[in-house]
Amino acid sequence: MKPATVLGVPIAPVDLDEAVEWITRLMAAGGHHQVVTVNPEFLVAARYRPDFGAVLRRAALATADGVGVVLAARLQGTPLRGRVTGTELVLALARRAATEGWRLFLLGAAPGVAERAAEALAREVGGVRIVGTFAGSPRPEDEATILARLGSAQPDLLFVAYGAPAQELWLARNLARTTAVVGIGVGGAFDFLAGVKPRAPRLLQRLGLEWLYRLWREPWRARRMLALPAFVALILRGILARRLLGRSYTGEVD
Ligand code: UDP
């Protein structure tokens, strides 16, 4: 499957089931692999944060979390299969974990939220082994405490909810210092699972309007969305450049 390169980041053309299969293969391979669920704000931020861009490009699997990434890929003529969000991955991977015997750890979100998300997952998925939860923080001074907790919990699969780019950078720095084979930044997934925040109604999700629902619930997101016009401009510039210069233009940071 050929990835769709969106602003220099290769996004896998997978649906949720295929993403779970892919991650299952990574788990079987061993070592340490980072998975990223990409939205347009990530791709704009990556242009100003080369370290974040490098993490996105190096990821073992990058899925399209935001509808903007799906639309951009379609406009470029390299369509994806749709969105694969962090929240859906957490639930689907918890199901797979229950059959494979993987040990899960939920790191991040506000104090108590990861714990409640774990309880919700355990209710939803019989037999899932959640070996730890911890809020911690993405600050470097908290790393030692977090690594100590992960060291005693010995997870195989690590979900991190510190928001982007903190969660991706945290995993890039620390995943190899843990027992976890796969690490995924999952944004607001624990908030949704714990019921702290409602997920958008399915109809809005299907219409590609989950972002609008989240903006309505949390108007502070408007600031973050200022990245969207830049995203559209960069995508259109890329398409134009490819038309003029041929296929060689990939949208890499210039
Ligand atoms: N978060 C955190 N520590 C921080 C910053 C954020 O634990 O220093 C958590 C926050 O509580 C939330 C998650 O990170 O659970 C980020 O969620 P957000 O909705 O911003 O992510 P998105 O889904 O938009 O990527």
- Tens of pLDDT, residues 134-183: 999 999 999 999 999 999 999 999 999 999 999 999 999 999 999 999 99
Mean pLDDT value across the chain: 95
- Does residue 244 form part of some domain? no
Phi and psi angles of residue 26, each rounded to the nearest 5 degrees, phi first: -60, -40
Phi and psi angles of residue 32, each rounded to the nearest 5 degrees, phi first: -135, 130
- Residue type at 34? Q
Domain ranges, residue 162? 4-137+145-237
- Does residue 231 form part of some domain? yes
Residue 39 has pLDDT above 90, yes or no: yes
- Does residue 85 form part of some domain? yes
- Does residue 213 form part of some domain? yes
Q: How far is the CA of 191 from the centre of ligand 1 (A)?
A: 8
- Does residue 251 form part of some domain? no
Domain count for the chain, please give it: 1
- Tens of pLDDT, residues 50-93: 999 999 999 999 999 999 999 999 999 999 999 999 999 999 99
Best of 37, 139, 162, 168 for a ligand 1 pocket test (most atoms within 8 Å of beta carbon): 162
pTM score, whole prediction:
0.94
Going by pLDDT thresholds of 50, 70 and 90, the confidence category of residue 253 is very low
Atom of ligand 1 at shortest distance to CA of 109?
A: 7
Residue 250 has pLDDT above 80, yes or no: no
CA distances from 79 to 11, 74, 83, 123, 187 (A): 10, 4, 11, 36, 24
Neighbours of 34 (CB within 10 A): 24
**Contact indicator for 185, 37 with CB cutoff of 8 Å:** yes
Atom of ligand 1 at shortest distance to CA of 86?
A: 23
Going by pLDDT thresholds of 50, 70 and 90, the confidence category of residue 254 is very low
Atom of ligand 1 at shortest distance to CA of 136?
A: 7
- Does residue 92 form part of some domain? yes
Q: What pLDDT is recorded for position 1?
A: 73
Residue 251 has pLDDT above 70, yes or no: no
- Does residue 246 form part of some domain? no
Query: How much is the average pLDDT of 211-224?
Result: 93
Q: How far is the CA of 130 from the centre of ligand 1 (A)?
A: 20
- Does residue 125 form part of some domain? yes
